[in-house]
Copies of this chain bind each other. A is one copy, B any other.
Amino acid sequence: MPSIKDVADLAGVGVGTVSRVINKNPTVKPETREKVNAAIKKLNYIPNEVARNFKMQKSTMVALLLPSIWHPFFSEFAYYIEDALDKEGYKLMLCNSGGRPDKEIYYLDMLNQNKVAGIIGITYNEIEDSVSTDIPIISLDRHFGKKITCVTSDNYTGGQMAVKELVKAGVTKVAYLGITSSVYSEVLLRKKGFMDEAEAQGIEFVTYEEHDAVYDDDTFFDDFFSKKEHQDVNGIFANTDLLAAKYIDKAKQKGIITPKDVKVIGYDGIQDNKLFRPFLSTIRQPVEEMARMSVELLLRKIEGETLDQDIYRVPVMYRKGETT
């Protein structure tokens, strides 16, 4: 594998000159540039990016740390993240934490050692302490503190919207169905928006949640359907589209048909849910916008800029499907 030295020798110039040619530094005579380029071509030389990163003491690798790329919301998010990063000349490293604290810490350590340029994290745990101060971080949906900038959708308004739409659809008692993950989660605001709006509208409501860690489809829903106070619920706001889809499925098994017997609204608006049947009504987060904003903010942090806000919220919108 030829090195810059080999190129320099063949071209009959110094290594510095070759370096300048490669980096398109203008202070090199066109004639010399030609010689060097010829040598590069002849030797089939390609610059060693690892050596460069090492010498420069910085990389263009950004890590995306999330529970599971398998989840459709995350995979869409990851898609846009990669696209945005690539446009700016950055690369993406993917880390699935499974939402487990130990794995999140493990990955953060690893990313530290590997001197990634920055991290975009969707984590379930308090990570502020586990992360070196000099590595910029953007966190999706969790707000930890000043050090870690948070990008999230307007969860509170989303929760309100859901209630408004359910009421508009004529329901008389609404339930919030949630998988909670972390106390730091901005997702909690979905519930708050839901409750406040239900209160404001003067409509009966219940909330039903389970912690992520102990979550299991069957027990969750069996439990839900068994409770007396859930019998007359005819409006559901589910935490996520996936949860909404599962609810509709389980409800159907109990003979409760959507949208005849119950109206359902999800949250997320994952693109492909056109293929879920019935087509879900949902509060859509602008995934692409959130991804691009995350990248933009992260790169600004990497450049050394200090951001003016701790939390950036992007607006959500209601998308009517067949379940309301």
Contacts and interface: CB of A to CB of B under 8 A. Distances in A.
A130 interface: no
Contacts of A94: 64, 78, 82, 92-94
A272 interface: yes
A93 B96 contact: no
Contact of A114 (B49, B69, B274): B49
Nearest to A64: B94
A112 B1 CA distance: 12
Contacts of A75: 69-72, 74-75, 78
Interface residues on A, range: 35 or more
Contacts of A64: 94
A302 to B, nearest CB: 16
A122 to B, nearest CB: 14
A242 interface: yes
A304 B70 CA distance: 31
Interface in A130-149: 134
A115 B72 contact: no
Interface stretch (A50-58, A159-167, A188-196): A50-58
Nearest to A61: B93
A69 B69 contact: yes
Nearest to A96: B82
A211 to B, nearest CB: 22
Contact of A48 (B47, B113, B275): B113
Contacts of A272: 72
A82 B53 contact: no
26 contacts: A1-B134, A46-B109, A49-B110, A49-B113, A50-B50, A50-B114, A61-B93, A64-B94, A69-B69, A69-B78, A69-B79, A70-B76, A70-B78, A70-B79, A70-B271, A72-B272, A74-B75, A75-B78, A82-B94, A86-B95, A91-B93, A91-B114, A93-B93, A93-B94, A275-B276, A276-B277
Interface of A: 1, 46-51, 53-54, 59, 61, 64, 68-72, 74-76, 78-79, 82-83, 86, 91-96, 109-110, 112-115, 134, 242, 245-246, 249, 271-272, 274-278
